Amino acid sequence: MKGGWFRGYTIAYLIFLYAPIVLLPIFAFNNSTTVAFPLNGFTTLWFGKLWEDPALHRALSNSLIIGISAAVISTALGVFASRASTRYAFPFKGGLMGLIMLPLVLPDIILAVALLTVLLGIGTPLSLMTVILGHVLVCTPFSIAILSASFQSLDHSLEEAAYDLGETPISAFRLVILPLVLPGIISSLLITFTISLDEFIMAFFLAGNENTLPVYIFGQFRFPQNVPVILALGTILVCLSIALLATAEYFRRRGIAKTGGKDTGGFL
């Protein structure tokens, strides 16, 4: 077996990575309010309780509104930025791209308090809208990372051929470039939606009186008796995220194959 030692180590590492996610459904179906071994029998009681909480439903619909808006806006901004950075040379390119990608490394809390300060400074009331503004900031760099791969592997001669055949820049983009990068765009929409659905700090600072799903979950952590219900909710969310990510990965790979690029793997 090639790389025997490394293989064993990597598998042990994956077990460490997946430990919390594997425990999640185990305790979500466990018939006990305390989260500990030994297990106490199977129940779907905690999942049933999810249907009875109006605050949770409100938080869920808020999160969906924010997630869809943030995904669409950040992907649109991502298309502009990745197209510009892969196609053109222009002044201040490094600085502007650096600024746009900055939220990738900057701690979320710094972004959140900075945005909060400005929004309150200009007198904007906190609402779902302000959370969307924050989430777009966080999601755009991820969108650019995904879309740059699609735009990078694009063959310029295809675009030139379209111009030679009389297409305008806009119609060439729509007819030639867009279909080729479409899988990347879908992948970006799914990933940014997943990020927004999961983002806590921005929503915690910017949502005002509204709740998003993570803010609701964070609030519930104070009540030990609600823990199994939260684990049930977590199980559903993890399944949803994995489904979204697997779909995104499928489109990302298809996009790269379509434009004839080489798959370097990974979203980042």
Partner 1 sequence: MQSKPKVRFWGSEAANGLLMISPTAIYAILLLAAPLAMIFAYSFMTDGYLKIIPEFQLCNYFGECHSYKDVNGARSVAQTYRGVWSDPLALTLLWRSLVISLVVTATTVLLAFPVAYFVSFYVAPSKKSLWLFLITIPFWTSYLIRVFLWKVILGTGGVINSGLLEIGLISEPITWLLYNANSVVITLAHAYAPFAILPIFVSLEKIDRSFLEAGRDLGESPFMTFWRVTLPLAMPGVVSAVLIVFIPTIGDYVTPNLVGGPEGKMVANLIELNYKKLDNYTLGSALAISSMAIVMAVSLLFLFLNRRFLKGNKR
Among 35, 64, 65, 182, binds partner 1 (CB under 8 A): 35
The residue among 194, 59, 208 whose CA lies nearest residue 119 is 208
Site track for partner 1 across 206-225, x = CB under 8 A? --------x--xx--x----
Beta-carbon count within 10 A of 128 CB: 18
Does residue 255 belong to the site contacting partner 1 (CB under 8 A)? no
For residues 173-196, one letter each, b for 16 or more C-beta atoms within 10 angstroms of the residue's C-beta and e for the rest, the string is: beebbeebbebbbbbbbbbbbbbb
Site track for partner 1 across 146-185, x = CB under 8 A? ----------------------------------------
For partner 1, which stretch binds (CB under 8 A), given 43-51, 148-156, 177-185, 232-240?
A: 232-240
Cβ of residue 253: shortest distance to partner 1, in angstroms?
A: 7
Cβ of residue 82: shortest distance to partner 1, in angstroms?
A: 9
Phi, psi values for residue 3, rounded to 5°? 60, 40
- Please state, in angstroms and rounded to a whole number, the distance separating the CA atoms of residues 132 and 134: 5
Pick out residues in 103-122 that bind partner 1 (CB under 8 A).
103-111, 113-118, 121
- Please state, in angstroms and rounded to a whole number, the distance separating the CA atoms of residues 207 and 130: 7
241 Cβ contact partners less than 8 Å away, ≥ 6 residues apart: 194, 197, 198
Site track for partner 1 across 1-20, x = CB under 8 A? -xx--xx-xx--xx-xxxxx
Does residue 75 belong to the site contacting partner 1 (CB under 8 A)? no
